[in-house]
Amino acid sequence: MIICVGESLVDVIPGETEGDPERAVPGGGPMNAAVATARLGVPTAFVGRISTDAYGDLIWRHLEASGVDLRAAERGPEPTARAIVTVRPVQSFRFEGDNTADATMTSIDLSPLGSGPHIVHAGTLGVFRGDTARALHRMLDDFHGAVSFDPNIRPQVFPSVTEWLGLAEPWLDRASVIKASDEDLDWMGMTIDDLLHRGATVVLRTAGPHGVDVHVKGHEPFTVPSVRGEVADTVGAGDSFCGAVLAQLHRRNLTTVDAIAAISPETWRDIVSFGVKAASITVGRLGADPPWAAEIDEPATA
């Protein structure tokens, strides 16, 4: 199955029109990716610590309703982290995450999820925050399957580049699939070639309205154009893209390191095109609300 590890939180977003009350929407990069993948009918687990407060109950119900496996997740009394989102005049956010549940997971046991082969997906906040970051490192040391990584840089929240790299490098070294934007690469001080030389099979460079540049090791890069449509907000778009790409890998039975390494550029084009389409649906709605399988036409699988 697909195992998404790391943080869950709530995005507190303004109402649809000025003067409407704000609302809390379940969020967090790995959690959003888990929801995106599960909604596409792929066996998916979320592994993280979720608060027992009202926000945590909201997150837990959201994951269950989307079909996400929670056997390796845990609950705790610490509060839920919050990202306070503004969309006017420009989109921005403020993070409230001191001593929250997402950063206090001390051990991870994947055995309830079976022997696999699994793909582990990580990124955003979970790889560097508190006890959870250390627990994820220990889990990664014991995991021998394929890894997907989305840095999803948040300069307002992340520590210094040096500190972050110290925690993120094991993931960068293990990842077969890396999704990154120009902003991510600039902040990290890395190029796409740097990531490919570390061992990635493919780097998916997201470029907003431009689309996605696909860099497959040993092949010429190419671009999958974006899908035009109305944009309500971009929260969760990258996570929906990652989830849809992971769903395609699972549906095509491309779930091992060797299988991913053998994917042709033509197949990557199909996989990424599906991810772009899923993201285009997500940006048309407020909050991180990935599409369900019935909302998107899937390409034929190999």
How do residues 169-215 score in pLDDT, each as one tens digit? 999 999 999 999 999 999 999 999 999 999 999 999 998 778 999 99
Report d(CA 32, CA 270) in Å as an integer. Answer: 22
Alpha carbons within 13 angstroms on the beta-carbon side of residue 152 total 26
Supply the CATH number for residue 127's domain. 3.40.1190.20
**Token code pair at residue 204:** 């998916």
135 occurs within a structural domain: yes
Please give the pLDDT value at position 45.
98
Residue-range definition of the domain harbouring residue 250? 2-95+112-287
Please give the pLDDT value at position 302.
40
Instruction: Note whether 204 and 245 are within 8 A (CB).
Output: yes
Please give the pLDDT value at position 300.
41
193 occurs within a structural domain: yes
| Number of domains forming the structure of the chain | 1
297 occurs within a structural domain: no
Please give the pLDDT value at position 89.
66
Query: What is the 8-class DSSP label of residue 155?
Result: T
Please give the pLDDT value at position 286.
61
Q: How far is CA 146 from CA 171, 249, 255, in A?
A: 11, 11, 7
70 occurs within a structural domain: yes
298 occurs within a structural domain: no
Please give the pLDDT value at position 105.
97
295 occurs within a structural domain: no
Query: What is the 8-class DSSP label of residue 157?
Result: T
Strands (E), 135-254: 146-150, 177-181, 202-206, 212-216, 222-224
Task: Output phi, psi for 161, to 5 deg.
Answer: -55, -45
107 occurs within a structural domain: no
Rounded average pLDDT per 10-residue block, the chain, 302 residues: 97 74 89 96 98 97 98 98 77 84 97 96 92 96 96 86 92 97 94 96 90 97 86 72 97 97 98 93 72 74 42
Please give the pLDDT value at position 277.
92
Please give the pLDDT value at position 301.
45
Task: Output phi, psi for 111, to 5 deg.
Answer: -60, -30
Residue with the two structure tokens 């780097």: 203
Please give the pLDDT value at position 238.
85
Bridge partner list, 95: 83
Report d(CA 264, CA 53) in Å as an integer. Answer: 46
215 occurs within a structural domain: yes
Q: How far is CA 158 from CA 64, 165, 235, in A?
A: 29, 10, 18
Is 36 buried (19+), middle (13-18) or exposed (0-12) by CB count in 10 A? buried
Residue with the two structure tokens 């590890």: 5
